[in-house]
Amino acid sequence: MIVYTLLVVVVLWIVLYRYRRRRMYKLASVIPAPSGELPVIGIARQMAGNTEDIMLSLQRFSYSAMQNDGISRCWLNHILYFVICNPVDLEVILKTCLEKDDLHRFMRKVIGNGGIFAPVPMWRRRRKIMIPAFSPKVIEIFFEVFSEHSANLLEKLAKKAGIDSFSIYPYLSAYTLDSVCETAMGVKINAQNDSNAPFLTSLNHLLDVVCKRIFHLWLQPDWLFKLLPHYSKHEACIKVLHDFTDDVIKKKRAELKKDNNLQPKADVHYNLEDYRRKNLLDLLISLSGCEKGYTDVELREEILTLTIAGTDTTAICLGFTLQLLAKYPEIQDKVYEELCDVLDSKRPVARDDLQKLKYLERVVKESLRLFPPVPFVIRKVETEIALPSGRVLPSGSGIVVSIWGCHRDPKYWGPDAEHFDPDRFLPERLNLKHTCSFMPFSSGPRNCVATQYVFTSIKTVLSTLLRNYKVIGEPEKGPIPRIKVKLNLMMKAVDDYQFRLEKRKN
């Protein structure tokens, strides 16, 4: 009798659950699903593999969306997602659906409510403070930091020149971490001189665990995750990151307070004209209102977000760009010719040189088009939304913004959309009708505020490296680059960017 009663209760609960979601099921039923979706579990089986398998599945879903006017429907067990790569629809979505999906909660456990992951009300306030901190004048000063650490990277790579292929990614991520930590916090952590630096190893471990929790459903419940061996190391790594950042913030507050006490009251001011020798932490304290502004926890959240996002994004873009140049030596030769034309002596790369490196910039943009570090952005549909394409997305569903798909859709990029062709970014050839056709750092109100920062860092280190070394790999036989990729929170090459370096003769 008890078993029968329980069975009736379960059946009634399922019927009521489905009845309440009837609108969702109706709207979802008219949108095509990718092949391989199973009853009840949906695409869960296709998302259960390793990071390379997961990326292949998401690529297939993106291609399926391209074939169906830019949208595909995916059920992940009971959760409904729409994979979208239609730039017209995405322009509306990225302006109206501002709340991040619940999957971001695993990243929030590491860094809190930093700008990228913050709920909308919190994000609006912080965004207003963040934008002036990345003004062109501030980024100009950061060039000196990028240049210094690029020179250090060159020294480290000298030991690898002329020998067999090696993975350059650890060197690139150490460069970007050194650069980001100095520009964000004003501290030198010397990651390029110590590959086992606690901050770097803790950061890499946490990103790996977060990725596993996002894609492996059995790791998502907190109560179950706490029972697994991953948990204790996860918490220890978070403590390393938080303790380090908290200590920097504490010292910075004391330093600013001391400086203010030494100045006559009438001379104390906080504005961007006083940016020299400042870092982002200085500016965030000042712009938020000093003692009455950001709390120490809020500062830690923003600084850690900048550090994590800036480190991986820049290193990945550098890795893919160098790997593409190794595959296409004729394009690398053109980059080198431009460097020789602009840098006509042995002097170091200067800030003003970067604006003259037009071909290098086109190469970087084409690399970002084919291999965007963040290939997918996930948003939440809080209220039903009608799209320009005529589709209606139900509330309670999620949207997988396929930047990877947008960048490769032949409908907007032409039949050669998969080709590596930097000259497609020539002003006379580039004719994008929709903003979201090319958005390597997202689009809309929640796009990346540090785009110029990233480009300055990338162009500085590439011009320094390619001026001195030639990157050599297996030449690609056709215009479509074959690079195996994986999704480890961001998209990376499976081989961690393997190639050889050859010293150039002056």
Instruction: Give me the percent of the chain exceeding a pLDDT of 70.
Output: 96
Q: Residue 368 pLDDT > 80, yes or no?
A: yes
What's the confidence (pLDDT) of residue 266? Answer: 42
Tell me the Cα Rg of the chain.
24
Q: How many residues does the chain have?
A: 506
182-231 pLDDT, tens digit per residue, is 999 888 888 888 777 788 888 888 888 888 888 777 888 999 999 988 89
What's the confidence (pLDDT) of residue 261? Answer: 60
> What are the phi and psi torsion angles at 19 (to 5°)?
-65, -40
Asked if 408 and 123 touch (Cβ cutoff 8 Å), the reply is no
409-457 pLDDT, tens digit per residue, is 999 999 999 999 999 999 999 988 899 999 999 999 999 888 999 999 9
66-117 pLDDT, tens digit per residue, is 999 999 999 988 899 999 999 999 999 999 999 998 888 888 888 888 878 8
Asked if 57 and 47 touch (Cβ cutoff 8 Å), the reply is yes
What's the confidence (pLDDT) of residue 383? Answer: 95
What's the confidence (pLDDT) of residue 274? Answer: 43
As a whole number of angstroms, the distance between CA 396 and CA 121 comes to 19
As a whole number of angstroms, the distance between CA 129 and CA 282 comes to 12
Q: Give the burial class of 246: count Cβ atoms within 10 A of its Cβ; 0-12 exposed, 13-18 middle, 19 or more buried.
A: middle
Q: Which residues contact residue 441 at a Cβ distance below 8 angstroms, ignoring those fewer than 6 apart?
A: 313, 374, 447, 448, 450, 451, 454
- Give the chain's domains with CATH numbers: 31-503 (1.10.630.10)
Q: Which two tokens stand for residue 282?
A: 């200085």
Q: What pTM value is reported for the model? A: 0.92
As a whole number of angstroms, the distance between CA 504 and CA 304 comes to 38
Mean pLDDT of the chain: 89
